[in-house]
Amino acid sequence: MINVTKTFLPPIEEYNKYLERAWNKQWITNRGELVLELEEKLKRSLGIDNIIITNNGTLPLQIALKLFGKGGEIITTPFSYVATTAAIVWENCKPVFVDIHPNYLTIDETKIEAAITSKTTAILATHVFGNPCNVEAIEAIANKYNLKVIYDAAHGFAVNYKNKSIFSYGDVSTCSFHATKLFHTGEGGAIFTEQKDLHHKLFYSHNFGHNGPLEFYGLGINGKISELQAALGLAVLPYMEEILSKRKEVVSFYNDNLDFSKLQTLKIRKDTDWNYSYYPIIFENEEVLLKVQKELNQNNIYPRRYFYPSLNTIEYTKGDKMPISESIVSRILCLPLYVGLSQTDLITITNLINNALC
């Protein structure tokens, strides 16, 4: 069976070495030495100053929305994983959708201003498949209207835009360290900001608001990651160069062998060092997508319809029509992409797709 992704796992003995340190310390959670070590190594690896690693990738969004949302309207994209919109609604804010660019698949920055009202408090945009939003345009709009910017960079690990980590942009950037991501801790995530005062608020917000054991800075929640998760991250991190290299090989094979006379794929924004996180293909219509998907499934190959459905159509959002997003979600399919995918498998996948398109 070939799934859309496969979790990268380091040799178990390397993971066990980190686990032994936690066992010997008898310190399993509450920011032990493995968590602190992982944060420092990630700072060096990513070239960033501030990071708070968390127990998943959704809580960072919720924490940022708790600080910035204030029960208002949040301008966001309809083309993302459901967690992006769910976090907005969960924090008692209202998602206001803006359609996406048909090639980059990120929020269309030219449509944001028209969606701003007196109730707008923030913009929450997704770097879709690791492809950066137009961060300069979004920053200019946010400054003009005194709005906060949150980036859902769940797919953004190891992406650089204009020689800076994608996590450096916005007031807050978030990432997922879920097992399906390039870098992972099994379950996990992170919050990033370049603002010192804001970093302090984010930090205590992810730790119940604590100021030491007996006092509190303010309201908080439990977003702490465990030593067991950090151990896995420490074991995976040394393999990032290999992971990126192997995934690039898969992407190159697809680029060279798929029939693009009848397919569209993601356009990566200029000045981006991409991370080869996903390989989406966009068909002429849903009928062709379903035909190709059926052919692949019959051969034990399981791509996935990332993202489906368009988030403006789900029951608890009831958003306006988003023609481009709704069209894209009906026609987009992410192909298998992971370390260990053999050339034989890739030949099979591309031949099945090309033949089905004939």
Considering the domain architecture, whether residues 196 and 314 belong to the same structural domain is answered as no
Mean pLDDT on 329-334? 98
Considering the domain architecture, whether residues 208 and 119 belong to the same structural domain is answered as yes
Mean pLDDT on 52-61? 98
Q: Does residue 233 form part of some domain?
A: yes
Considering the domain architecture, whether residues 13 and 152 belong to the same structural domain is answered as yes
- What is the predicted pLDDT for the residue at 131? 98
Exposure on the CB side of residue 215, measured as CA atoms within 13 A: 3
Considering the domain architecture, whether residues 20 and 105 belong to the same structural domain is answered as yes
How many domains, the chain? 2
Task: Check pLDDT > 90 for residue 319.
Answer: no
Closest CA to 32 of 228, 191, 186: 228
- What is the predicted pLDDT for the residue at 134? 98
Considering the domain architecture, whether residues 284 and 349 belong to the same structural domain is answered as yes
What angle do the packed helices 240-257 and 343-357 form, to 10 degrees?
30
Considering the domain architecture, whether residues 247 and 336 belong to the same structural domain is answered as yes
Q: Does residue 88 form part of some domain?
A: yes
Considering the domain architecture, whether residues 79 and 140 belong to the same structural domain is answered as yes
Question: What token pair was written down for 83?
Answer: 């967690």
How far is Cα 151 from Cα 153, in angstroms, rounded to an integer? 6
Task: Check pLDDT > 90 for residue 123.
Answer: yes
> 3-class DSSP state for residue 190?
strand
Mean pLDDT on 158-163? 98
Considering the domain architecture, whether residues 215 and 284 belong to the same structural domain is answered as no
Predicted confidence (pLDDT) per residue in 1-50, tens digit: 999 999 999 999 999 999 999 999 999 999 999 999 999 999 999 999 99
Q: Does residue 212 form part of some domain?
A: yes
Q: How confident is the model at residue 313 (pLDDT cuts 50, 70, 90)?
A: very high
Task: Check pLDDT > 90 for residue 288.
Answer: yes
Q: How many Cβ atoms are within 10 Å of 174's Cβ, its own excluded?
A: 31
Q: How far are the Cα atoms of 67, 225, 282, 295, 297 from residue 356, in angstroms, in the given order? A: 49, 45, 14, 7, 13
- What is the predicted pLDDT for the residue at 82? 98
Predicted confidence (pLDDT) per residue in 127-153, tens digit: 999 999 999 999 999 999 999 999 999
Question: Which CATH number fits the domain that encloses residue 328?
Answer: 3.90.1150.10
DSSP string, 105-129: -SB-GGGTGGG--TTEEEEEEE-GG
Last residue of a domain, one of 185, 210, 238: 238
Contacts 24+ apart (CB under 8 A), 8-15: 8/182, 8/184, 8/236, 8/239, 8/243, 8/338, 8/339, 9/236, 10/235, 10/236, 10/238, 10/239, 14/235, 15/231, 15/232, 15/235
Last residue of a domain, one of 206, 238, 270: 238
Q: Does residue 20 form part of some domain?
A: yes
Task: Check pLDDT > 90 for residue 201.
Answer: yes
Closest CA to 123 of 102, 97, 105: 97
Predicted confidence (pLDDT) per residue in 230-282, tens digit: 999 999 999 999 999 999 999 999 999 999 999 999 999 999 999 999 999 99
- What is the predicted pLDDT for the residue at 34? 98
Mean pLDDT on 324-349? 98
Predicted confidence (pLDDT) per residue in 57-111, tens digit: 999 999 999 999 999 999 999 999 999 999 999 999 999 999 999 999 999 999 9
Considering the domain architecture, whether residues 179 and 164 belong to the same structural domain is answered as yes
How far is Cα 334 from Cα 237, in angstroms, rounded to an integer? 25
Question: What token pair was written down for 287?
Answer: 């009928």
Q: How confident is the model at residue 358 (pLDDT cuts 50, 70, 90)?
A: confident
Considering the domain architecture, whether residues 283 and 310 belong to the same structural domain is answered as yes
- What is the predicted pLDDT for the residue at 208? 97
Task: Check pLDDT > 90 for residue 355.
Answer: yes
Question: What token pair was written down for 335?
Answer: 């192909």
- What is the predicted pLDDT for the residue at 193? 97
Q: Does residue 3 form part of some domain?
A: no
Q: How confident is the model at residue 318 (pLDDT cuts 50, 70, 90)?
A: confident
Question: Which CATH number fits the domain that encloses residue 69?
Answer: 3.40.640.10
Considering the domain architecture, whether residues 212 and 275 belong to the same structural domain is answered as no
Considering the domain architecture, whether residues 226 and 251 belong to the same structural domain is answered as no
What range defines the domain where residue 162 resides? 8-238
